[in-house]
């Protein structure tokens, strides 16, 4: 599972990553959970340029928020490794990877969103899959331990 690059040059991504609360994150909860998603109540024409731009902006913000949250979880995981001992902590990481992989398979098998007719839901489903894959890779390779050395 390779990793797609994050939109590090995007200002919305950087702001969501480095400044918690600076952006309105009140509606992100619907997109952070496993699909199917709660129906979107946006009345904007789903084929308009404005709607499509919002989808992209939403993805940038979610990338920043998810990376910020991953960094916070990494701190907790490093503490767990030092407190529980590496073998016990590795066992917990393996369990987490198994759960994430199971979730990835479930979401990947969903074919309820069409990329054209449900562009926001489809975009967010792909985003969700990408973050599951990134997290699995991150945990599998114990990337959070490498961050400790930086």
Q: Which of 41, 38, 42 is nearest to 50 (CA)?
A: 42
Q: Give the model's confidence band at 150: pLDDT under 50 very low, under 70 low, under 90 confident, else very high.
A: very low
CA distances to 10, 41, 75, 141, 149 from 146, rounded to whole Å, are: 25, 41, 11, 9, 6
Neighbouring C-alpha atoms within 13 Å toward the C-beta of 88: 8
Q: What is the pLDDT of residue 146?
A: 73
Among the residues of the chain, which ranges form H helices? 11-18, 29-32, 49-84, 86-109, 119-140, 143-149
Q: Give the model's confidence band at 44: pLDDT under 50 very low, under 70 low, under 90 confident, else very high.
A: very high
Q: Give the model's confidence band at 147: pLDDT under 50 very low, under 70 low, under 90 confident, else very high.
A: low
């Amino acid at each position: 599972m390779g990793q797609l690059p994050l939109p590090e040059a995007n200002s919305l991504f950087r702001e969501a990553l480095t400044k918690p609360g600076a952006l309105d994150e009140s509606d992100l909860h619907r997109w952070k959970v496993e699909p199917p998603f709660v129906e979107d109540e946006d009345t904007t024409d789903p084929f308009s340029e404005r709607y499509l731009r919002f989808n992209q902006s939403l993805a940038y913000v979610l990338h920043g928020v998810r990376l910020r949250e991953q960094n916070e979880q990494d701190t907790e995981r490093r503490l767990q490794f030092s407190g529980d001992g590496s073998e016990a902590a590795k066992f917990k990481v393996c369990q987490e990877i198994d759960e994430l992989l199971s979730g990835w398979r479930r979401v990947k098998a969903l074919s309820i969103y069409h990329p054209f007719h449900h562009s926001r839901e489809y975009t967010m489903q792909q985003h969700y899959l990408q973050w599951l894959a990134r997290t699995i890779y991150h945990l599998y390779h114990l990337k959070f331990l490498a961050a400790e050395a930086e």
